Amino acid sequence: MNSTFPFLQATQIKMLVLDVDGVLTSGDIFLTDRGEQLKAFNVRDGHGIKMLSRCGVDVAILTGRTSDVVKHRAKELGIHWVIQGSLNKSLGLEELLTVSGLTAADCAYMGDDVVDLPAMRRCSLATSPKDGHAAVRNCSEWVSDYAGGQGAVRQLAEGLILSLGKWDAVIEQPYGISPADCGWQR
C-alpha cells in the first residue's frame, strides 16, 4: 500500500484543496421532499483533516455545488477557506490563492471528475480517490487506495503528514501508532 506516494514532492505542500462530491463524500446526493440536500461525510477523513491542520497545512474546499451542509461541515473541521458554486475551478483556485497568499506550487489538490482537472493541473500535487474519473486518475501523481468519502482524504492527509516529518508529533505521540501500523512504507 502507498508505495507510489510522492513523498519528496509533498514536502512543499502548505495547502490541501479538496472537492466535495466524490472526494469528501461518495458522490451521492440525497434530496428530501422539501429539496434539502443531505450528504454523508466520513469521520476518518475529517480526523485526517484536523491532524493535517495541526501540522500547519491549510485545508480548503473548492466545489461546484452550493450547500449549507458543506458550510456546516467545514466549520466543524475548522476549514476557513471555502469556495462553493465554482463552476470554473481554475478561477476558484485563483481566488483561494489570492485570499490565502499562497501559490499553486504550495498546493495539493484532490478531485474526482473532469471539472477538477484545470485546477489540479495548476497545483504542485494532483491526487484522486481510487474511484475518480479515468482522466482524473491519469492526471494524478497519486491515486488513493480508497474511494471518495471512504477514506481517500484520510490516506492523503497521512501521506502529507509523513512527508512533512510531522508524524511523530501529530500521530505517533498522541495515539501510539507508527507509519507501518497504518500501512505506510517508505
Run of H or E residues at 38: strand 37-38
Q: What is the pLDDT of residue 37?
A: 85
Residue in this structure with the C-alpha cell 440525497, named with its chain if needed: 30
The whole-angstrom separation of Cα 69 and Cα 72 is 5
Which sign, positive or negative, has the C-alpha torsion 164, 102, 19, 55? positive
DSSP state of 169: I
pTM for this structure?
0.95
CA distances from 58 to 26, 29, 46, 81, 94 (A): 23, 27, 14, 8, 16
Helix, strand and coil content of the chain, in percent to the nearest 5, comes to 45, 15, 45
Q: What string of pLDDT tens digits covers the 186 residues of the chain? A: 445 899 999 999 999 999 999 999 999 989 999 988 889 999 999 999 999 999 999 999 999 999 999 999 999 999 999 999 999 999 999 999 999 999 999 999 999 999 999 999 999 999 999 999 999 999 999 999 999 999 999 999 999 999 999 999 999 999 999 999 999 986
Domain 7-173 has CATH 3.40.50.1000: yes
pLDDT at 2: 47
Radius of gyration of the chain (CA): 15
Bridge partners (DSSP) of residue 16 are 59, 108
